């Protein structure tokens, strides 16, 4: 039908549809829409050029069920014919089920827009593949790029870092186009017996493809590979890495005498097939996947994918699965008991100029790979680093602990290894030169003396970190009135440098000022400045104990910060760690809230702006937003003010 008369559109333009195109009667075409040759417009689509106009749909493209194409009255894109359009869709492109293309928008030739994905105020270059549930907004995607499922691409830096489309992806997109061209022709001749008979004769049994033939995007089946391994292979290939495989029996594993396995394929399907065969041949042995950067000629990933007595769960490896994994694999490659190489790993990282970090997770977080970050090891001394990490191992007994090496120049991880698991307590012995070994003992729950501290494990870790760096520790307190006016008062000075004495002094301040805010201060005495401000007690809040054991396996408490006054959840340790991490990187923090209805439509509203970079003030503002919007969703926002983009969106409260 023609576009309705409006102040901005008075010409009552009607759609122009090529005779070879097929438009289903259950779809809506309104206004100045040009539909090219051999286009299929499936049932339930809505293409309305009644506000933004005109629209162009190129030859051979298909608009599948439930797609919505609309445009704003303001804003245009330049089409391939150098004219202005509200929406331009090129030739041989697929706009799949329930996708939304909202102008101003440009989709180039030979593109694939996946199910429920959205393109708004953006350009998608020729040959791009956008998988399912993705958002493309306010950016230009360069030609030939691959957008994984669930991606949110809202700034140009993200768009420029996207991986390239692989040949099998192009085959898949072309296959979908051919299928829909056949559907368009079939719909056209549905009521013509002569036409139907001709098609039936074309598809005789002799000419039908056999069940074993593939189209380049068919599922790979009957492989003993779980999805993590498949995604790891896919991720390494997309980064241009070479894939290798090594195996070792128990004796060779202990001596690190790995043997290389032959892996000749270069494409994903071939590598996965050969990898499945290697796992079967090396059943009962350790097998690890190797990712090699051919440019730098070094390994960037070593992931153990099979251990004796373990069998990866067989799954069907669909090429539509595009789960994102870290370039280093995040494959949980453990240090074996008694491997004796952790001190060497630490020394190697420090000598290589890499930063060292520690992450930990309980059993639940380990399963979901939701690691928490401990304070980084900021020292160039191998012995000091070993001592600090040994302290973390003691505090985090009963948890998974992994050592992380980070290249500060490239801003990426270069190594990642689990150094402790629940039921083990790891200790590192060193000969003073940074050489040594790691040993494990079973955790004991009823022996030794407990760390009788009311402080959270996070606070104790901060104390240990500050002392190891030579900083002085102090405390301040404030009642609610003084807290609001930021008029903190100092507790008794802490002159001790012993960890136990400092913790004792902190506990005394907490007890003396029960019912008040108490914060921990780290002071650089040489620069005469504060390096840390951390609130360790709040009025009306109690520490819910999460067991964390010491060297002897006895428990202390991890504060979960639960507000007991009104029953509403306040900031947990994970949120506090995220806040601290964002502030340390110079990012600005904001908050947004939404009731259930707005949450479903993603219509978030901003809380009051947070202008401060002071940790305690930011935390106070976050708690204020939580209290004001109790019973709603609240999320934490991290903002890079230089790049003018969001670096974090994390929901910290749910109804």
Residues carrying an active site annotation:
51
Beta bridge partners, 137, equal 120
Question: DSSP secondary structure string, 309-369?
Answer: T--PPPEEE-TT------TT-----BPPTT---HHHHHHHHHHTT-EEEEEEE-HHHHHTT
Token pair listed for 458: 């996070």
Query: Among residues 385, 330, 372, 428, which one has the least CA distance to residue 548?
Result: 372
Beta bridge partners, 130, equal 113, 147
End-to-end CA separation in angstroms for the chain: 45
- Count Cβ neighbours within 10 Å for each residue of 346-360 and write b for 16 or more, e otherwise: bbebbeeebbbbbbb
C-alpha 27: how far from chain center:
37
Beta bridge partners, 293, equal 298
421: helix, strand or coil: coil
Token pair listed for 78: 């330049």
Contact predicate 306/286, CB 8 Å: yes
Place of tokens 């903002």: 639
Q: What DSSP state is assigned to residue 377?
A: B
- Count Cβ neighbours within 10 Å for each residue of 94-111 and write b for 16 or more, e otherwise: bbbebbbbbbbbbbbbbb
184: helix, strand or coil: helix
Phi, psi values for residue 178, rounded to 5°:
-65, -40
**C-alpha distances in Å from residue 556, one per residue of 114, 251, 262, 456, 462:** 49, 39, 50, 8, 15
Contact predicate 227/331, CB 8 Å: no
**C-alpha distances in Å from residue 278, one per residue of 283, 289, 309:** 8, 11, 16
**Residue 226 C-beta-side C-alpha neighbours within 13 Å:** 9
Q: Would strands 129-130 and 146-147 be described as parallel, antiparallel, or unpaired?
A: parallel
Q: Could you tell me what percentage of the chain is helix, strand and coil, using 3-state DSSP and rounding each to the nearest 5?
A: 25, 30, 45
CA distance 225 to 92: 34
């Amino acid at each position: 039908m023609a576009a309705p008369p409006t102040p901005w559109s008075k010409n009552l333009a009607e759609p122009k549809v090529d005779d070879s195109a097929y438009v289903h009667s259950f779809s809506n075409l309104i206004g100045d829409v040009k539909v090219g040759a051999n286009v299929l417009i499936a049932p339930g689509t809505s293409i309305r050029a009644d506000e933004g106009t005109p629209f162009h749909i190129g030859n051979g493209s298909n608009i599948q069920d439930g797609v919505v194409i609309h445009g704003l009255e303001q804003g245009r894109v330049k089409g391939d014919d150098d004219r202005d359009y509200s929406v331009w869709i090129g030739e041989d492109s697929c706009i799949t089920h329930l996708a939304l293309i909202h102008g101003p928008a440009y989709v180039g030739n030979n593109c694939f827009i996946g199910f429920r994905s959205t393109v708004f105020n953006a350009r998608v270059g020729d040959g791009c593949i956008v998988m399912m549930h993705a958002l493309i907004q306010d950016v230009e995607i360069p030609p030939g790029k691959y957008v994984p499922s669930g991606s949110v691409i809202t700034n140009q830096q993200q768009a420029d870092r996207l991986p390239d489309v692989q040949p099998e992806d192009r085959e898949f997109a072309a296959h979908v186009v051919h299928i829909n061209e056949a559907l368009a022709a079939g719909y056209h001749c549905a009521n013509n017996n002569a036409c139907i008979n001709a098609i039936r004769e074309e598809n005789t049994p002799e000419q039908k493809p056999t069940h074993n033939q593939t189209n380049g995007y068919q599922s790979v089946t009957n492989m003993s590979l779980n999805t993590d391994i498949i995604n790891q292979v896919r991720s390494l290939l997309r980064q241009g890495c070479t894939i290798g495989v090594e195996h070792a029996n128990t004796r060779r594993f202990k001596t690190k005498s790995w043997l290389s396995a032959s892996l000749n394929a270069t494409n994903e399907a071939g590598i996965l097939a050969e990898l499945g065969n290697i796992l079967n041949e090396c059943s009962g042995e350790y097998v690890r996947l190797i990712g090699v950067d051919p440019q730098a000629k070094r390994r960037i990933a070593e992931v153990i994918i099979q251990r004796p007595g373990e069998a990866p769960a067989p799954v069907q490896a669909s090429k539509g699965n595009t789960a994102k994994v870290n370039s280093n694999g995040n494959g949980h490659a453990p240090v074996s008991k008694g491997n004796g190489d952790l001190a060497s790993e630490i020394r190697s990282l420090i000598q290589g100029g890499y930063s060292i970090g520690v992450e930990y997770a309980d059993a639940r977080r380990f399963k979901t790979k939701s690691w928490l970050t401990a304070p980084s090891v900021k020292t160039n001394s191998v012995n000091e680093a070993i001592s600090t990490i040994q302290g973390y191992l003691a505090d985090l007994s009963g948890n998974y602990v992994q050592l992380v090496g980070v290249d500060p120049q490239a801003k990426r991880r270069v190594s990642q290894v689990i150094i402790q698991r629940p039921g083990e307590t790891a200790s590192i012995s060193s000969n003073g030169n940074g050489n040594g070994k790691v040993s494990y003992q079973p955790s004991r729950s009823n022996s030794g003396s407990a760390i009788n501290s009311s402080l959270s494990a996070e606070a104790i870790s901060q104390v240990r970190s500050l002392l190891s760096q030579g900083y002085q520790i102090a405390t301040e307190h404030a009642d609610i009135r003084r807290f609001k006016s930021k008029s903190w008062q100092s507790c008794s000075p802490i002159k001790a440098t012993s960890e136990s004495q400092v913790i004792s002094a902190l506990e005394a301040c907490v007890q003396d000022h029960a019912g008040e805010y108490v914060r921990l201060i780290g002071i650089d005495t040489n620069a005469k400045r504060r390096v840390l401000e951390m609130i360790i007690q709040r009025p009306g809040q109690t520490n819910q104990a999460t067991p964390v054991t010491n060297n002897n396996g006895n428990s202390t408490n991890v504060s979960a910060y639960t507000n007991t006054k009104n029953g509403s959840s306040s900031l947990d340790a994970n949120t506090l760690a995220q806040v601290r991490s964002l502030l340390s990187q110079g990012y600005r923090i904001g908050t947004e809230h939404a009731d259930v209805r707005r949450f479903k439509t993603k219509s978030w509203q901003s809380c009051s702006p947070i202008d401060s970079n002071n940790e305690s003030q930011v935390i106070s503002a976050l708690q204020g937003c939580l209290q004001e919007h109790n019973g709603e969703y609240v999320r934490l926002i991290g903002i890079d003010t230089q790049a003018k983009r969001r670096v974090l969106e994390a929901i910290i409260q749910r109804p």
